[in-house]
Structures are given as structure tokens and as C-alpha cells.
Chains A and B, each alone.
Chain A
Amino acid sequence: MIKLEHIHKSFRVAKRKEGLGSAFRALFHREYQIIPALRDISFEIAAGEIVGYIGPNGSGKSTTIKIMSGILRPDSGNCLINGQIPWQNRKHYVGQIGVVFGQRSQLWWDVPVIDSFSLLQDIYDIPDKAYAKTLSELTATLDLAEIIQLPARQLSLGQRMRCEIAASLLHDPRILFLDEPTIGLDAVSKLAVREFIQKQNQEKGTTIILTTHDMQDIEALASRILLIGKGQILFDGRYADLKKQAKTGLSAEEMVAELYREYQI
């Protein structure tokens, strides 16, 4: 279903030094630095899996997600998802995936959420019947009935995130990428989101790749985790195995912190 082989990606960033003088010099001559973001990333994910993708800030999680969703093209390596290369024939490919960026909204701020949904129906060319069916299912499971008539600016973060997730699933994608879906949510909303993700996976068989810093997300959802640090995959396996390796008596949070220290990432 998803197969990444030897993906490399680096970014070219301008070196900046402090001080006004060097800022001025940089206008005329700029030094660039190549920063490797991903170094030889390979993994496979089967259809119907939920995979938790974890790693500290700046380790390359988002870059991987962006490559898998066709936003970025890697410097080298192969990526085959559903038999397609994401950044080739982008328009066709992205019709089959759903992406939630937890930190960015895709809803229109000033109009009722339902209007945003209806625009998405046209963007994805969803037939009326299928749209009505998916919408009613999502409304029921995510408990949206009362909030979709409100403009997004009036929603709480938890309510908005539920709407964001629904917006990414209207076209019934086979694969769902969730980039920090529980960031900033209160306990109740977190649980609701987790429960929904699980249901979506079990009942619809949607393949889900989830990045998060919240280890409880991982504990509750992912049977398999991928740990990335400094652009390399450091651990790929079952969450239970990782737990066995670690000292007993540690919470999930402490265990991961320990792991980050161990790998010096």
C-alpha cells in the first residue's frame, strides 16, 4: 500500500548571522547551508494499518508526511502509494488521500462549517448521494449536528478539530494522514478524536498515519510505531515491544524521553 525506499531530502537555507551589519551584507552575498531533513528513510505500511509516527521536533516527521501527500518531492529515493508516485500526477493522487494538519485550518473562518463542506464536495467532485451518506455518518460519529451551522470562528478548538477531520474524510479517502490531530485539545476532545480514529480504521479499513507528541495517542491507537530522529528511522515495530525494552515502571512519556536520550536525538 505505502512503500518508501531510500528517501533523501535536504533543504537549502540561507545562513544568517546576528547583527545589522551582516544582515546588510547578506543582501548582496548570501551563504547557503544544506540541511539534511531526511536521510535514507525506508518503510512499508500495509492497507488497514494504523501507524504512529513519532520523533522530537525537527526530526523530519512533517517532511515525510509532506512527501507522502505530494506536497514536496524528495531529492532521491522511491515512494509508491496505492501504486502511484505522489508528486507525479498530483491532482489524481490527492483525490484518494485525506490530510489533516492539526496546526492549520482548512475551514472558512466566517461562514458556517457546512458551507466549507459543500465547497469540498465540489472540489472533490463527490456525487450528491455519496456526499449525503458520508456527511450523515460523519455527523453522527463525530457529533457535529449542532456545530456545522456555526461559522468556524465561533467553534472551540475541540469542535473545530472534529470538523477538520470530517472535512478530510468527506471524499472517503483510503489513506488518512493526521499531522498532530490532538494538539492543544482538552481531555474530552482528545478522547473523542481518538475514539473516532479507531472507529474509522476498524469499520472502514482506512489506513492511518498519525504524527503526534502525545504518547497516550500512540498507546491508545497505534499498534505499530515508527520512531524518527535526525532524519533517520530508529525504531520500527510494535509498541508493545518497545515497552518491553524499556525499564519497567516508566510512563509512556518517560519511556520516549529515555529513548530520545538514548539515541541522542
Chain B
Amino acid sequence: MKLYWKYFAIHLKSQLQYKVSFLLMILGQFLSTFSAFIGLYFMMQRFHQVEGFSYQEVLLCFAVVSLAFSLAECFARGFDTFSTMIGNGEFDRILVRPRHEIFQVLASKIEFSRIGRLLQSLFILLVVIIKTPYLWCFDKGLTILLMILGGTVVFSALFLIYAGLCFFTTDGLEFINIFTDGGREFGRYPLSIYGDSILKFFTYIVPLALFQYYPLLYLTGRSNQPLYIFFPCLSGLFLFPAYLIWKTGLKRYQSTGS
């Protein structure tokens, strides 16, 4: 952990070398999420509710998913850009260092400019919480916290799968973005609105619903099942297949160039 902070400090130092670029990136990230928010705002202005979910409730969902995604992007960015790491031989360097390779990939990229997106999601979340008094109790607070953590884990696992598949293809596989970027987009609305089969898919295959839909039912009082609070923890199981893909890929690693 101490080593991670050291990486953290050196990344911060590097990225602050280019102050203007750094600030512009943060601003850009902020604005791009903001446009997504505006889109949602106008939709809800017109339709007032989606499948029985009110504007407030959808917004809660939106904020949690965005926050989880930007956290994952901030810290698991190394997996997202893993194909370049293989391509330019950076991964060879990682393999000759006496630390776990996943730790090193994680630590090799920390993207501070994603703070723009993070702050924005945090801001929306706080506004929703302040405006919704029924969330002001311990169990609902815990639920929101677990949703964010669970979401970060699921998105990170998706990035890990993406990286693991790079071992087989050397190049990145864009189709995984359907689940990462796509997951973020889908996840802005409660997953039930897309129909039963999609919900099942996002429950059992790519468990976005475990940290988004089911806890949301509890949060909004649609269900009294207290077990739903801990559903986001279940989504952590998704890390196992992701790790397995990574390990299998690592064994096949061929390296590139001279």
C-alpha cells in the first residue's frame, strides 16, 4: 500500500508538469459528463418518469453509476490502455520487477484528470441525497456506499477482462466497451426498464444489476428485502472469472519486438 502511494505521488507530479493540459482535461471530463446529465434532465422533463421511477430516483442511479465508473477509470486505467502496454514493451519491464503484475499494471496508470467526472457525479449524488430525506438513515447510506464500491469493482473487473483478452489478440478488443462504456450508459437508468431478458443478463452474466438495480429497489422503498443492501458485495464474485482470464492470458504471453 505504501508503494501504491509512492506511485500515486509520482503520477501526480508527472501530470502536474503540464498544468494547462491537466486543467483542460479535467474541464473536458466535467463537461462531457455534464452533457449526459443534461440529456437525462430533458428526457425526464418530458416524460416525468420511466417505468415508474421518478426523476430523483433515476438521478440517484445515474450518479452512483457515473461515480463508480469514474473511480474505476481513475484507478484501473492501466487495464484500459493495456494493449499499448503490450505493444510498446512496457509489460516486459513489469515482468522483470519483483511485484505482482496486476498491482504494477494498476499502479502504472493513475488518471487524475478523471477527477472532473468524479466531482460532477459526487455533486449530483450529494444534491439527490440532500433533496431526498428518506435516504437519511444508516442502512440507506450503507446501501449507497456499497453500490458505489460494488460498481467500482465490477467496472474494474470488466477492464481486467479487456486486458486479459489482449494477451490473445495483442490488440484491444473494442467489443468489451459495450460492457464498460455501454454499462455506464445503460446503467444511468434502472436496468429493469430494458426488459426482463436484459435484466437477467445484467444479473447473472455481467452483474451490473447487482450493484445498481436491486439495491435501488431497497433504497426507493420498492422492496423491504434487507438482503438487497448487500447485493453489491455479490458482484465482487465477478472478479474471479476476470482474474482467471487474465491468468490464462498471461501464460500465453508472447511479448513483442526486440
Question: Could you tell me which A residues sit within 8 Å of B by CB distance?
Answer: 11-12, 57, 61-62, 66, 69-73, 90-92, 94-95, 97, 99, 101, 103-104, 106, 108-111, 115-116, 118-119, 122-125, 151, 179-180
Q: Which residues of B contact A115 (CB under 8 A)?
A: 10, 13
Q: Contact check, A104 vs B98: say whether CB atoms are below 8 A apart.
A: no
Interface band, chain B: 20 to 34
Q: Contact check, A119 vs B6: say whether CB atoms are below 8 A apart.
A: yes
Q: Contact check, A99 vs B96: say whether CB atoms are below 8 A apart.
A: yes
Give the Cβ gap from A258 to chain B, nearest Cβ, in Å.
24
A179 to B96, CA, bound (A): 13
Q: Contact check, B95 vs A122: say whether CB atoms are below 8 A apart.
A: no
Q: Contact check, A91 vs B96: say whether CB atoms are below 8 A apart.
A: no
A111 to B15, CA, bound (A): 9
* Residue among B6, B13, B92, B255 with max Cβ neighbours from chain A (10 Å): B92
Q: Which residues of A contact B255 (CB under 8 A)?
A: 66, 71-72
Q: Contact check, A123 vs B98: say whether CB atoms are below 8 A apart.
A: yes
Q: Contact check, B254 vs A122: say whether CB atoms are below 8 A apart.
A: no
Q: Contact check, B14 vs A111: say whether CB atoms are below 8 A apart.
A: yes
Q: Would A70 and B95 be within 8 Å (CB), given that A91-B100, A104-B89 are in contact?
A: yes
Q: Contact check, A71 vs B92: say whether CB atoms are below 8 A apart.
A: yes
Q: Which residues of B contact A111 (CB under 8 A)?
A: 10, 13-14, 17
Q: Contact check, B258 vs A90: say whether CB atoms are below 8 A apart.
A: no
Among B93, B100, B254, the residue within 8 A (CB) of A104 is: B93
Give the Cβ gap from A123 to chain B, nearest Cβ, in Å.
6
Q: Would A97 and B96 be within 8 Å (CB), given that A66-B255, A119-B7, A122-B6 are in contact?
A: yes
A180 to B257, CA, bound (A): 13
CB of B99 within 8 A of chain A?
Answer: yes
A125 to B253, CA, bound (A): 27
A-B contact pairs, 7 of them (CB 8 A): A66-B255, A91-B98, A94-B96, A111-B13, A123-B97, A123-B99, A179-B258
Q: Would A90 and B95 be within 8 Å (CB), given that A72-B255, A104-B89, A123-B3 are in contact?
A: yes
Q: Which residues of B contact A11 (CB under 8 A)?
A: 254
* Residue among B10, B96, B251, B253 with max Cβ neighbours from chain A (10 Å): B96
A42 to B255, CA, bound (A): 22
Identity of the chain B residue whose Cβ is nearest the Cβ of A12 in the assembled complex:
B254
Q: Which residues of A contact B89 (CB under 8 A)?
A: 101, 103-104
Give the Cβ gap from A151 to chain B, nearest Cβ, in Å.
8
Q: Which residues of B contact A66 (CB under 8 A)?
A: 92, 255
Give the Cβ gap from A257 to chain B, nearest Cβ, in Å.
20
Among A108, A125, A180, the residue within 8 A (CB) of B14 is: A108
Q: Which residues of A contact B13 (CB under 8 A)?
A: 110-111, 115
Identity of the chain B residue whose Cβ is nearest the Cβ of A104 in the assembled complex:
B89
Q: Would A122 and B2 be within 8 Å (CB), given that A71-B96, A104-B89 are in contact?
A: yes
Q: Contact check, A108 vs B10: say whether CB atoms are below 8 A apart.
A: yes
A92 to B99, CA, bound (A): 9
- Residues B56-114 near A (CB distance < 8 A): 88-90, 92-93, 95-100
Q: Which residues of A contact B99 (CB under 8 A)?
A: 91, 123
Q: Contact check, A119 vs B93: say whether CB atoms are below 8 A apart.
A: no
Q: Which residues of B contact A110 (CB under 8 A)?
A: 13-14, 17-18
Give the Cβ gap from A13 to chain B, nearest Cβ, in Å.
9
Q: Which residues of A contact B98 (CB under 8 A)?
A: 91-92, 94-95, 123-125
Q: Which residues of B contact A151 (CB under 8 A)?
A: 17
A71 to B93, CA, bound (A): 9
Which 8 A-B residue pairings sit nearest by Cβ, starting from the closest?
Answer: A95-B98, A110-B14, A110-B17, A62-B258, A71-B95, A99-B96, A91-B98, A122-B3
Q: Which residues of B contact A99 (CB under 8 A)?
A: 96
A163 to B2, CA, bound (A): 25
A58 to B6, CA, bound (A): 38
